[in-house]
Structure formats: C-alpha cells, structure tokens
Structure 1
Amino acid sequence: MPAPALPADQGLLLQRASVVLGGARVLHDITLHLTERRIGIIGRNGSGKSTLLRLMAGLVPADSGTVNVDGIDPMADRKALLSRLGILFQNPDHQILFPTVQEELAFGLIQMGQPKALAMARVQSRLATAGRADWAGRSVATLSQGQRQWLCLQAVLLMGPQTILLDEPLAGLDLPTQARLTRSFDALAQRLITITHDPAFVQAADRVIWLERGRIQADGPPAQVLPGFVAAMQHLGASDADADLSD
C-alpha cells in the first residue's frame, strides 16, 4: 500500500531557465512548476533531460533564468536543500563516497548538523528495520549494483527530502532487482521526478514532460504525451541518420 502523501509544499519552480555547457546551449528557456506527486521527464539521449535534473539539484547553474526548490535557491543554500531535495543517480558509484555502509548512510545526516552518535543510531535503526543490521560495517565494495542502489536510496531517505530526483534508476539492473526497487519507489510518499527514455516507466505518472533538443516538446498527462513521443521515436528509429542531434 502506498505511503500517505507528505504535507503540501511549494514544489520546484523554473522560470526561463537556460544552461550553456561547453559553449553550447543545452537547455532553452525552461519554465515549469512541478508540484505533482509522480512526474516523468522523457527524451532521447542528448535531449537535455539529465542536464535538467542537475539544474534542479543545483549541480549546474542556470546561465539565465531562475530555479527555486521550496523557496530555496539550490545553488545558494546547499545545506538547506538537503532536507528538501534528494537525487539518486543512474550509477550508484557516482554517488557513494565512503568505504562502509554505515559511514555512507550517516554522511548526509552529519552534513545536516546531526551529532555523529545520533546519526549512527539512526543508521542502525534503519538497517535493522530493513533486516540488514549486519550490513553496518560491511564494505560497500562487496555489494551488488542493486544493493548499492538500495544503499544510495536509503541515504537519501534518511535526510527526509520532500522531493527525490531519479536519474534512470533501473538502468543496468536485472529484472528481480528492478521489481524490488520499483516497489520501493511506489511506496514512497515523496514527490518523485524521474528522468528516463523508457515511456513504460512513466505510464502511471501524474504528469509527463517530453524534452527535445533542450526544449519542452509536450507537457501533460501520460495519455496525452506518450503516444506522440513513441511515434516520434519510432519515426527516428526507421531512419539510419542521427545527425539531427548535432544540428
């Protein structure tokens, strides 16, 4: 059964936000107000969707326009952002910093200002609740990719963010692990904003945004957005040319 919704918040607000990387404009005047509980952002490789995710998380700055997360500028107040916004990367190895499970899980709590002893106690409680109490001192290097992804998700959840950004969270995982993580995501009360190129993963979303060449191509319920996206991708797939991405 899904967890109850968290209290209402301000959501994520982007106003005419643009990003330039390596001299090329990757995002063009993006204006969005994201308040729904489940949001999908779809697009093919090179469409700018991962850059959009990083813009929301304050990992890249806007070259023009503004980004606001629950009243917080993500580039200006990183500490305040920790309790409002979390991010789960496609590759957990890009996220994990510490050699043991307990150190990795405690890091965010300590960054938020919790005493180390309290942070470690919360970590032990979380692991015990998940039936993984014996993982505390375990080396992260011994975990499978699916287990490392689970670890990263728990590290984010311990900080209690209102919104979690998911960057292709099931990529590279086997089917049983995908099923287990999908159940975990479905049960979360947090707002989930999922970046993906797979329309099937966002069919049940409340809202889907189709990004193409750094611009919003379509925005609305899945039934309105996904058929056009699928048709466009099938049309492109029928051609052997992919030079349009470099136009």
Structure 2
Amino acid sequence: MSIDLHDVGVTLAGRPVLRAISAGLTEARVGIVGRNGSGKTTLARVIAGLVAPDLGRARIGGIDLATDRRAALATVGIIFQNPDHQIIFPTVLEEIAFGLTQQGLRAAEAETAARAMLGCFGKTHWAGAATHSLSQGQKQLLCLMAVLAMRPRVVVMDEPFSGLDIPTRMQLTRHLDGIAAQIVTVTHDPDHLHGFDRVLWLEGGRLVADGPPATVLPAFAAQMRDWGESDDLAHLAG
C-alpha cells in the first residue's frame, strides 16, 4: 500500500497547520514525530481521510479517501489518543460489530465476526462487558480490535500509548507487532518507534526530516534537548 502526499497544506481557523508536505510512504511501519502543535495529528487525519487538504493532494492506493468514504472504511482505520473519544457503544461486542455493519455486513454476520476478533485476542469473555467499565489500556485494546475487525490495509494511530503504564504499552506493542497492515504511528516520544522503517519529523507544520529512524530520531531528540535546556522560550510559541 502506498500513501502519497503531494504538497499537502491544511489551514484551520485561519492558521496554517500543514505546509507543503510531500512524501510517498510504502514502508510497513512509519512514525511521525514532533512537538505538540507541530501538525502531527492533522497529518494523521489527512492520511485517514478525515481532513481534506486545502492545498495539494493525499491518496492511499491512488484513492482520495476524503472524498470516498466507502473506500476509506475499507482501506484505513484510525486509533485516537483518547479511546473515550472513539468508543460509542455500551458493550464491547456492539462496539466491534458497528464498523462491520458500516461496511455492509448484516447484524448477525457482524456479531459473528466481532466474536471471532475477540477470540483472536483471547477476550471472548469481554463480549457483554460494559465499555465504560474497562481500564484505559483495555479501552485502547478494544479500539484496536474494532479497527482490525474491519481488515484495513492501513492503521493510523495518534499517540496510542499516551497515559498508559509500561506493562500495558508492552502488551499493546506485542499485539501491534503481529498486524499485517501498514502502520502509521504519531508520537512525540521517539522511544515508541524502535523497529520502525521510516520516520517523518514535523515542526511548525513543515516536514523538516524524513528518513530511517537511526538518522531522524537522534536529530529530533537532540533538538528537543537543546530547546529543553534553553532559557529562551520563544520556540514555545510555535
């Protein structure tokens, strides 16, 4: 699968958020790093087809997902930073089955597929559980299962490990390692991108570096340390 970004520009509330972003992403694991406000989340939403660029174009497999929602449902899934912003149904089974019905499955077929997904993760006993009763890590796993049940070719994750403890992060990472779909992970923490194939670094809505993690991440970490050790706070306005 190829994610093709060509001179992508996005303006929100009169402020440029992304500026002339171009990249062709074919790697299995792609990371997007940057400080808060750098445009990472907006770029993730552009890739997922949730935000249409004001300038340029964004396509996955040649399809403009912002204008073809049916193709978007079949091609890409997104996991948000806060699972409470994503989970909408009262029970686990309903939450997983919903996306499948949106793809055209009948209710009974969707329920069967949802139960099968729970079985893949050893969570069949969760089927009737109330979603509000789950821990933060369990909710993130539920969101992952709901997305994977739809068999997307690309999974976009926006700060998926934010606020999770170390054991939960390790468990979710193991699940993600076994996913065949292309994964695009947005994070401000370079430690979350070990083993990735490619990293994009955004700053002020611009792409300032693009390459292998061994090249991009040390430069990113060094810049963050320099700013953190500086008494000049002017850069925080970005």
Q: Take 1:107 and 1:239, find their aligned partners in 2: how far apart are those partners?
A: 49
Q: Take 2:72 and 2:4, find their aligned partners in 1: how far apart are those partners?
A: 14
1:70-219 equivalent positions in 2, closer than 5 A: 70-219=61-210
Structure 1 residues 108, 207: CA separation in 2 closer, same or farther (over 3 Å shift)? same
Q: Note the C-alpha offset of 1:197.
A: 0.8
Q: Which amino acid aligns with 1:191?
A: Q
> What SS does structure 1 have at the residue aligned with 2:111?
helix
Q: Note the C-alpha offset of 1:185.
A: 1.0
Gaps in structure 1 of 5+ consecutive residues: 1-8
Q: Note the C-alpha offset of 1:243.
A: 3.0
Q: Note the C-alpha offset of 1:245.
A: 4.2
CA deviation map 1:128-170 (0-9, x unaligned): 3433222212110111111110000000001101110111111
Q: Note the C-alpha offset of 1:203.
A: 2.9
Q: Take 1:240 and 1:78, find their aligned partners in 2: how far apart are those partners?
A: 47
- Residue 237 in 1 paired to residue 238 in 2? no
- Residue 40 in 1 paired to residue 35 in 2? no
> What SS does structure 2 have at the residue aligned with 1:74?
coil
Q: Take 1:245 and 1:57, find their aligned partners in 2: how far apart are those partners?
A: 28
1:12-51 equivalent positions in 2, closer than 5 A: 12-51=3-42
CA deviation map 1:79-121 (0-9, x unaligned): 1111211111111011111111111000110000011110001
> What SS does structure 2 have at the residue aligned with 1:83?
helix
Q: Give the counterpart of 2:48 among 43, 46, 57.
A: 57
Q: Take 1:190 and 1:133, find their aligned partners in 2: how far apart are those partners?
A: 23
CA deviation map 1:53-95 (0-9, x unaligned): 1111122221111111112211111111112111111110111
Q: Note the C-alpha offset of 1:201.
A: 1.4
> What SS does structure 2 have at the residue aligned with 1:59?
coil
Whether the 8 Å contact between 1:124 and 1:136 is mirrored in structure 2 is yes
Whether the 8 Å contact between 2:118 and 2:145 is mirrored in structure 1 is no
> What SS does structure 2 have at the residue aligned with 1:127?
helix
Q: Take 1:26 and 1:64, find their aligned partners in 2: how far apart are those partners?
A: 12
Q: Take 2:161 and 2:93, find their aligned partners in 1: how far apart are those partners?
A: 24
Structure 1 residues 66, 122: CA separation in 2 closer, same or farther (over 3 Å shift)? same
Q: Note the C-alpha offset of 1:241.
A: 3.5
- Scaled by the length of structure 2, the TM-score of the pair is 0.96
Identity %: 51
Q: Take 2:40 and 2:96, find their aligned partners in 1: how far apart are those partners?
A: 28
Deviates more, 1:106-115 or 1:69-78: 69-78
Gaps in structure 2 of 5+ consecutive residues: none
Deviates more, 1:99-108 or 1:76-85: 76-85
Q: Take 2:111 and 2:5, find their aligned partners in 1: how far apart are those partners?
A: 36
Whether the 8 Å contact between 1:209 and 1:218 is mirrored in structure 2 is yes
Q: Take 1:53 and 1:154, find their aligned partners in 2: how far apart are those partners?
A: 19
